[in-house]
Amino acid sequence: MVTTVGAPCGPQVAGGPNATSFDASGLEVPNAPEWTGNVSGTYEFDISPSSGVGGFVQALYSFRSDTVFGLYPANIPNPTEQDGYGILNATVGATFNDERITVDLWGRNLLDTNYVTSIFELPFDGAGGLGQFVTRDADRRVGVRVGFDF
């Protein structure tokens, strides 16, 4: 229900009611998805037990359900909503010298999932424009890491 009671606090939506306040009962809480979760696993194995060479494979899958980043009245489509998404990260590597040296190949966002960390109204855009923040984690990345444990 859109009302005109109170100080200006409603969304400025192009063609919308530009409400000063509205009843937010039952609306999703911004930046609070209904579901989030992680599943991870590591498998370690011997490559050459006599020479102290081992291997490992690690995987992590993270999921986040639909998320809204702003409050809009129920009768207006929320332009700050992002669909749910999942991120897959993995690492495969080897250890040497009783695990004092590690060499691995890692991949982040292997499914190349496109997502943002925030969607917001542009404060000086009278046309109801939106901005967004995109993290570097939204791009697929791969790399090699070498670690020494003294």
Question: 53-109 pLDDT, tens per residue?
Answer: 999 999 999 999 999 998 887 788 888 899 999 999 999 999 998 788 999 999 999
User: 22 Cβ partners below 8 Å, 6+ apart?
Assistant: 1, 2, 3, 10, 73
Tokens of 102: 């590690």
**Mean pLDDT of the residues in the chain:** 84
pLDDT at 19: 52
Q: What is the per-residue pLDDT across 101-113, written as a single tens digit (0 to 9) for each?
A: 999 999 999 999 9
pLDDT at 30: 87
pTM above 0.85, yes or no: no
Q: What is the per-residue pLDDT across 14-35, written as a single tens digit (0 to 9) for each?
A: 444 455 577 777 788 888 999 9
| Higher pLDDT pick, 118 / 61 | 61
| Dihedral (CA of 121, 82, 74, 127) sign | positive
**Can you give the length of the chain in residues?**
150
Q: Longest Cα pair distance anywhere in the chain, in angstroms?
A: 78
H helices, E strands: number in the chain: 0, 11
Q: What's CA 58's distance to the chain center, in Å?
A: 20
Residue with tokens 């037990």: 49
pLDDT at 9: 47
